[in-house]
A and B are shown apart, each in its own frame.
Chain A
Amino acid sequence: MFVQVLNGLAFGVLLLVLSSGLALIFGLRGVVNFAHGAIYMLAAYVAMAITDRTSFWLALVTVPVLLAAAGLLVDRFGLRHLSGRSPLDMVLLTFGITFVVADVIQTTWGTRAHTIDPPSALQGSTDLGLATYPTYRLFVIAMGLLVCAALIAWLKFSRTGLFVRAAGDDRTTTGAMGVNVDRVSGTVVALGFGLAGLAGVLAGPYLTLSPAMGTEILITTFIVVVVGGLGSIGGPMIAALLVGLAHALATVQAPTFSAYVPYLLMLGVLLVRPQGIAGRRTAL
């Protein structure tokens, strides 16, 4: 049971990193980034290439930065041009990116499954008293929680974080107050892509790399964001851990039923409380 809770936490933390990026982009650009799963997948594959040549630690640092740069470009040359149009146009744009990335990955690395070896310092298991648990997964949990704490602190205490929250609440007024909203949005999209990249690198040695991994996690992340509430940052964080735990527990307790659990959770939440745990109806 203890191990299952930890498994749930490890998966939940991965979802936490992904969904906070998704929620941030949604707050600022009003777009659900359909490319989030593809970016995550791309990060995992690039991390594999870098790990094979040099070391995992280098990948952990460089890949999120590279993808953040890519996010900046997508915002500058894509999303910004569509800001006056229907949000569905932006969805379609990110959807197009998904297809391109999927093709690049299949061409470069093929369709078979790959794995990354965790760095030597994190191999093996750690004795936690109640049970021994793989060290790498403990590292994932620690990293994820650390990054989210940093993200919350940044949003709460920094100047840019203030602008991000303000622009998420009311874009026009924030712009009228002299904040360069386009620049803030660019930062946030870059941050969201960077977080997706980080999740991809972290997932590499923990899950299996395959061309389907992006879609699988994308849909779970959507569920997390909807359950948590669109337009909120804290809601998806709670929902991520919930979904991760529900997923891990159901896999062991009710294996045939486990694949349905996230979807049923989502349907249940939407029927009882359509705005999600902490969402605002007006955000949609």
Chain B
Amino acid sequence: MPFDFEFAKSILPHLLEASVITIAATFVSFAIALVIGLFLALGLRSRFALVRRGIWGATQFIRSTPLLVQLYFLFFVLPEIGITMPPFLTGVIGLGAHYSCYIAEVYRAGLESVPKGQWEAAVALNYGRSRAMTEIILPQAIPPMIPVLANYMITMFKDTPVMASITVIELMQTANIIASERFLYVEPMTLVGLIFLALSLVASFGVRLIEGRLVR
């Protein structure tokens, strides 16, 4: 069965429209992951051992269990305890929470990569804790984190199709609907693959550019 270019051309606009949802889902879940990840990273540096251990255990658990089942959990269990959300919101919260556990680790590594002497110098120069953090430590800790975070964003982008399983109509699900309506799978599935490939190649090229900038 050959590739029908006419059919492919006719469905391409629909798929491109749907990729906007996929991209939106990526950005929203990335933002959620950045925020939750920050809280987790702060929790991992807490003075209370119980908080540290609890958060460490929870992040390990989330990191070693599948996103798909976590999404099912949110999708099916939350409504039972009275929390109903549109599937898109459930999806981005699930994806964001999953990756926040990785991103917390990025924040931690970034902060630890700043030499201890920087803190000591800040103390010696009579900087307060928060000023030392915002003016001395963070400006050195953040740039090396950026390419790592960007790579996680690309990984998250490639995990958005999992949301199709909780009825979010993103790129993958749109292709699925088109395909199953006419029972023509070759063109929609191949196009989805090509769109993913194109977007992630462009994105990783962008990351490499940023990386080059930062190294200089």
Say if A and B assemble together.
no
**Chain A residues close to B by CB (< 8 Å):** none
**Chain B residues close to A by CB (< 8 Å):** none
